[in-house]
Amino acid sequence: MQKKIMEKIRTRFAPSPTGFLHIGGARTALFNWLYTRHYGGKFILRIEDTDQQRSTDKSTKAILDAMTWLGLNWDEGPYFQAQRVQLHRDMVQKLIKEGKAFYCNCTPEELESKRKQALATGKKPKYDGTCREKKLTKSANSVVRFRSKQDGVTIVEDLIKGRIIFNNEELDDLIIERGDGYPTYNFAVVVDDALMNITHVIRGDDHVNNTPRQILLYEALGFAVPKFAHVPMILGSDKTRLSKRHGATSVMAYKEMGYLPESLVNYLVRLGWSHGDQEIFSLQQLIELFSMDAVGKSPAVFNPEKLLWLNGHYIKASSSERLIEEMKPLWPLGTRTDDASFTQKVIADLQPRVKTLVELANRADFYFADEIKYEEQAAQKFLTQDISEQLKAIVVAISSLRNFSKESLEDFFKTFTQERNIKFKAIAQPLRVALTGKTVSPGIDEVMVTLGKDRVIKKINNAIAYIEQLK
C-alpha cells in the first residue's frame, strides 16, 4: 500500500529565466529531485517565463545546462509558463463568474496614497477593498483581484517548519491578473501546480508568506492543496543572505572554476540536510537516505573552504580517463594535449595534489612547455654555475638508462649521489627547477617518468644552456 501511495508523488522545480541558476535554486532543485527519486515519483521542470520583459532564452539555456551538468534529470518538461497563459486566463474568468474574483480599476497613484494613509494611521498597508463590491467589468488597465477571506485562519502544515498559522484578515485581495492580461506569480503557480498534479511543493522559505494566499486560491478553484516544505535560506559567512560578495553564486561558474558536479551536489545537500556525521555521499546513497525529516529549520552557512575540500576529494577519487574529458575546456590556450597517453599521465601526477581542475591545468604548464620560464628566485638560488657540471653528468648518465621507471630512477640517484659523495638534496631542487621551473612540484621521479627520457634530457640541457649564458 505504501509503495502505491509513494508512486504518486510529483514534485517540480520552477525557476524564472531571468538569470543563471544560482546556488540557492540548485539546492531547491536538488531537494525536489532527491525527494522524488527516493519515493520513485516524477520530477517536473517548469520554466516560469511570464515576466516577458526579463525572461530570456539565454537564461533558459543556462538553467537547463546547469541542471544537466548537476545530473538533475527531469521526467517531464521543460514546460513553459508563458505558453499556458490562456489556461490561467480561463481560471481567472472562472473565479470572476463564481464571484470569487473581481475587476479593480484603482490607479497606482490611488493605491500608493491609500498605502501611505494606512501606514500613517498604524494600519497594515493592504488593499482596502474599494472595488470589491462594485461589480466592475473589464476596462483599460483594470486588474483582477482575488476575493480573499476576511476572517478565520489559514493553516500551513509545513514538512520542515511545522504548523504555521496565518490570520486571514492579514491577507489582502491580491492581484491575480495584471492590466496587460498576464497572470501574477501567485495565481499562475497555483494553476500550473494543480493542473500538473504536483503533490509536494518544496521551495525556499522566502515563499512562506505566499503560501496562505496560494492555499486560498487552491480552495477557491476547487483543487487539492499540495503538501508544502519550505527550505531555509543559504547565508554567507557574515550570516547575511548569500550574494556575489561571498563568492560565486552561479552554478556554472563553479564548472568554469574547475569543480566537479558531484562535489557541488554533495556540498549543496549538506547545506541544511544531514545524516549523522557523514560528509561524503554517493548519489545513490543520497537517494536512499534523503528525507524531509532530516532537513534543518535554521539557515545554512555557505563555506567555500568546505566545498573546495570536497572537490579535492572527488578529483582524487576520479579516474584520469574521466578527468581528461573534464579538463578539455580548461587547459590554457595553446596547451598541446593531443598525446592522450601523456596528458593522462600528467593528470594522474597532479590530481592528488590539487583541489580544482583549473589549479591542475595551471600547475601542469611545465609538462607541456618546450621552453620553461623559470621562477626568478628559484633560478637565482638553484640554477648556478657550480650545479652545471652535476646536471651535465646527470644527462650523460640517464641517456644510457634502458629502463626509465620510478624504481630505476631511485636506484640511479642513489648510485649517482654515492659516487660523488653528495646528498640527494644537493641536486634535488636544482633538478626540480630545471624540469619544472618551480621549487614545488610532484616528486622528481614522478615528474621524470611522466615526462619521459627525451623530454627530461631536453629540459635539463635547456637549464644548462641557461646557466652557461649567465657567465
Take residue 22 and report the three cell numbers written for it.
Answer: 544560482
- Cell representation of residue 118: 494606512
Q: Give dist(CA 180, CA 140) in Å, integer.
A: 9
Measured in degrees and rounded to the nearest 5, phi and psi for residue 141 equal 70, 10
CB 55 within 8 A of CB 16: yes
Residues composing the chain: 471
Radius of gyration for the chain, computed over Cα atoms and rounded to the nearest angstrom: 32
Q: For 175, phi and psi rounded to 5 degrees?
A: -75, 130
From the candidates 8, 123, 244, 297, which is the catalytic residue?
A: 244
Which amino acid is it at 143? V
Angle at 467 between CA 465 and CA 471, to 5 degrees: 110
CB of 190 closer than 8 Å to CB of 221:
yes
Nearest to 173 by CA among 136, 148, 144, 137: 148
Three cell numbers written together for 127:
488593499
Q: Is 244 a catalytic residue?
A: yes
Residue with cell 555521499: 281
Beta-carbon count within 10 A of 80 CB: 15
- From CA 63, how far away is CA 426, in angstroms rounded? 55
Least Cα distance to 20 among 252, 264, 260 occurs for 252
Tell me the β-bridge partners of 44: 12, 76
In 3-state terms, what secondary structure has residue 80? strand
44 sits in which H/E element:
strand 42-47
Q: CA triplet 265, 266, 268: central angle to 5 degrees?
A: 65
In the chain, the amino acid numbered 151 is: D
Peptide bond into 332 cis (omega under 30): no
SS3 152: coil
Place of cell 464571484: 99
d(CA 366, CA 459): 10
Residue 120 C-alpha cell reads as: 500613517
Catalytic sites, residue numbers: 244
